[in-house]
Amino acid sequence: SRSVKKTFFEPEYIGKEKNKKQVHEIKNTYNKHLDLCRAIHAEERAIIQLARLGGVSIIGSIIYVTTFPCQLCSKKIIESGIKEVVYCEPYPNIEGKKLLYQSGIKLREFEGIKARAYFKLLKK
């Protein structure tokens, strides 16, 4: 099961929410009734946190994510006015990518050292 931990915006990083509650992992739910899942994705959490702060606009911003946004998160990114998505890893379902591309949002794969590659390098 995949777990995405961090998502943030440029130029300001929105810190951790106080009294953050853990969401229990739901096993064997890949591509099954995502609309019924209790968890929210990192992209959703970041957008919601900014909305809760009030007065912080993300229109025209860049979102940095570890994994390419799914279709549900892509819709939220489009509607929130984000102009660019920087991601580390692709996502197996390409519907989100199609939506973002068709909406004119710039898509950029991160080109630095990725965590997995970095740890492999250190093990040698």
| CA atoms of 71 and 9, how far apart (whole Å) | 19
Q: Are 100 and 76 in contact (CB under 8 A)?
A: no
| CA atoms of 80 and 21, how far apart (whole Å) | 25
Q: Is 43 a catalytic residue?
A: yes
3-state secondary structure of 64: strand
Q: What angle do CA 116, 119, 121 make, to 5 degrees?
A: 110
Candidates 17, 25, 43, 44; catalytic one = 43
- Please return the burial class of 85, using the count of CB atoms within 10 Å of its CB with bins 0-12, 13-18 and 19+: buried
List the catalytic residues.
Answer: 43
